[in-house]
Amino acid sequence: MKRAITLFLFFSICNYTQAQKLSGLSKKPGIQIECAMPTILSLGQSIKLKVKVRHNLVQEKTGQLTLALINHKTKKSVDGWFVNIFPFQYFTTIQNETFETEFPFTVPFDYSGSFDIEIVARVNEIKDSIHITIPTKKAK
């Protein structure tokens, strides 16, 4: 009986902790980036990368959201080549509001290989980031 109660309490605590993680941000002050990333892009394709920043901060603070485009092979920036003209955007953490924005860029026709997308949201010492590699293909 004692073991059954111990197991019940253990699984209850694990389920509660997992539910907290799945429900978004925990009680600890934090921010979270949400973005639907493309799986592949065609040469010459223009995109508006839609990004949301969620937070659980009570005080209004200014944060910064950055997008960096990097050649996957050489690890060098391709922001200028991809016409990433708005790589930095500022936002204010208004309670119960999500910040939404777009980062427009175009994959050059003469680009070859994959590139990395790095998105970083920062409010003082609190931050979240996403890093993903996107392959390219020739346009039809």
Q: What is the pLDDT of residues 60-110, one digit of tens each?
A: 999 999 999 999 999 999 999 999 999 999 999 999 899 999 999 999 999
- Do the domain assignments include residue 18? no
**Residue 39 within any structural domain of the chain:** yes
Q: Indicate which CATH number applies to the domain containing 58.
A: 2.60.40.10
CA-to-CA distance for 44 and 82, rounded, in angstroms? Answer: 10
Judge whether 92 and 84 are in contact, CB under 8 Å: no
Q: Is residue 46 part of a domain?
A: yes
What are the beta bridge partners of residue 90?
64
Determine what percent of the chain falls in helix, strand and coil, rounding each to the nearest 5. Answer: 15, 45, 40
Nearest CA among 116, 89, 118 for reference residue 101: 89
Residue 8 domain flag: no
Any domain includes 43: yes
Range of the domain at 100: 25-137
Eight-state DSSP code of residue 61? -
What's the domain count of the chain?
1
126 within some domain: yes
Q: What is the pTM of this model?
A: 0.79
Our separate counts of H helices and E strands in the chain read 1, 9
Instruction: Tell me, yes or no, whether 89 lies in a domain.
Output: yes
> For the chain, what is the mean pLDDT?
85
In a domain, 2, yes or no: no
